[in-house]
Structure 1
């Protein structure tokens, strides 16, 4: 009787070379899978960071509640005052890291905060910050971190407008207030017609 297990036509190829090739294929597949997983993780983290930065640029900014000017000695506006608060949905905004781009028909300047709680002097490349009485309950001067916080931003137009010494009737300025995360609030102001006859130091609505 012929054995069923002894067939010269059926041969198994077994050897160390085959084993090495098999292990190499497994290793290559594992490395490729690891690279794909790491790449996917990196792309996900990058996308999340980009998304958060985009959200911050839209939400983390200030809102201008009202604005007025102070009349100078030559029937012009020498100081522009803006009352600001946090915009809806915004996280805390540090005014010490906030810049204001000032653009008029004659001048352009980038202003940074250089003020103390009771400061009243500042230069052409600076804006001054004062708290509105009754706000800033946690005494975090310079940082808007609560919806009730209010600060007055003062810009000395008479020092920026070196040719005229101030802003005259009909002059227009554009102010871009940019927070540390890139959120920008744009304000366009036109000087009013009723400057003639106003007394020096009088406030006028812009």
Structure 2
């Protein structure tokens, strides 16, 4: 133990020690600020990534029925799908939605023929690069955007235009299969695989057939 000879004596902290102490406090404060900012940035990034992941799963359409239209060569000249919002999905803008078309002979990415609030005539553009959109039901007049569970649109794909690069130069023949991937702007994807009817004999051009 230390023996105190003079109780009136007091220790004094030198200016150097004080400067070191203040520097340590400042460094600790700066480090804490950096950590808080970094934590906030990581939290915001994680929230954005989580929301994007949710959108990719939920923001998509459901295909509730499909049919084809018979062409002039006993083939399927057009495919029509009726779509609605998938369960739990928020609004899906069909004007910014794409459809990947994949058959045995062709692959094509299709966009909306009429990216506006005006309803199309139900026919694609004839070049095989677009799909047509027509209204079945639309409660609030926001054609082009599926924003209600009761909204229903028809999507028409001109298969005869797409398949013009095939050897036959016709639409989809009996028994052929086509895969469609409908992808919304946020990345939500719906996959549809359709097989053409095995028998079209006796069907007249323009008649609908179930797919």
| Residue correspondence of structure 1 range 7-46 to structure 2 within 5 A | 12-46=11-45
1:124 aligns with 2:123: no
Pair 1:187–1:121, CA change in 2 (3 A): closer
Deviation at 1:194, TM superposition (A): 2.2
The alignment yields a C-alpha RMSD, in angstroms, of: 1.5
Q: How many residues align?
A: 200
Q: TM-score, normalised on structure 2?
A: 0.91
1:176 aligns with 2:178: no
* Aligned structure 1 segments of 4 or more residues deviating by more than 3 angstroms: none
Find the counterpart in structure 2 of residue 195 from structure 1: 200
Distance in 1 between the 2:63 and 2:124 partners?
Answer: 22
Tell me the alpha carbon deviations over residues 10-62 of structure 1, each in whole angstroms, 9 at most, x when there is no partner.
x7352221111111100100011111111111111111111100100000000
Q: Which residue among 173, 186, 192 is the counterpart of 2:191?
A: 186
Query: Would the aligned equivalents of 2:62 and 2:83 in 1 still touch at CA under 8 Å?
Result: yes
Q: Which residue among 139, 142, 146 is the counterpart of 1:140?
A: 142
Query: Would the aligned equivalents of 2:85 and 2:92 in 1 still touch at CA under 8 Å?
Result: yes
Distance in 1 between the 2:124 and 2:82 partners?
Answer: 18
Distance in 2 between the 1:168 and 1:121 partners?
Answer: 19
Distance in 2 between the 1:18 and 1:66 partners?
Answer: 81
SS at match of 1:63: strand
Deviation at 1:121, TM superposition (A): 4.6
Find the counterpart in structure 1 of residue 111 from structure 2: 112
SS at match of 2:57: helix
SS at match of 2:157: strand
Deviation at 1:118, TM superposition (A): 3.5
